[in-house]
C-alpha cells in the first residue's frame, strides 16, 4: 500500500466523518475546517512522516508539525479522530 493510497483513504474518511469537503480541509482556515485538517494530520502521522504528509498537503514539514502539535481540546475532534482511526484500521487491517 502506497502513502498516496493511505492519504486518499484518510482524506475520504475525514471528509465523510466530519462532513467537511476535501478542498476545505486542504485550503480553508475556518475553525471547523482546521479541526478536520488536524484530524487528518493526526491520523496520517501514525504511518507517515511530517515531510511525507506535507507533500500531500502542500505544506512544509514544520507546518505539518505545527498542525499536529496544536491543541484541539474538543470532544467532537477527539471523537472524529477515533472514528477516522477505526475506519482506517478496518480498511488496512489486511496488510
Reported as a single tens digit per residue, the pLDDT across 50-92 is: 999 999 999 999 999 999 998 777 899 999 999 999 999 988 8
18 is written with which cell numbers? 466530519
Query: What is the reported pLDDT for 50?
Result: 96
Query: What is the reported pLDDT for 35?
Result: 94
Segment 18-53, tens digit of pLDDT: 999 999 999 999 999 999 999 999 999 999 999 999
**Given this structure, which CATH class describes domain 3-89?**
mainly alpha
95 is written with which cell numbers? 496488510
Residues 35, 79: Cα–Cα separation, whole Å: 12
**pLDDT band at residue 10, thresholds of 50, 70 and 90?**
very high
Residues 88, 82: Cα–Cα separation, whole Å: 10
Amino acid at each position: 500500500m502506497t502513502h498516496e493510497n493511505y492519504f486518499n483513504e484518510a482524506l475520504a474518511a475525514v471528509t465523510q466523518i466530519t462532513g467537511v469537503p476535501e478542498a476545505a480541509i486542504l485550503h480553508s482556515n475556518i475553525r471547523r475546517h482546521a479541526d478536520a485538517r488536524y484530524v487528518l494530520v493526526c491520523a496520517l502521522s501514525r504511518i507517515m512522516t511530517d515531510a511525507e504528509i506535507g507533500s500531500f498537503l502542500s505544506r512544509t514539514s514544520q507546518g505539518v508539525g505545527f498542525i499536529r502539535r496544536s491543541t484541539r481540546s474538543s470532544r467532537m475532534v477527539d471523537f472524529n479522530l477515533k472514528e477516522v482511526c477505526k475506519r482506517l484500521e478496518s480498511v488496512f487491517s489486511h496488510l
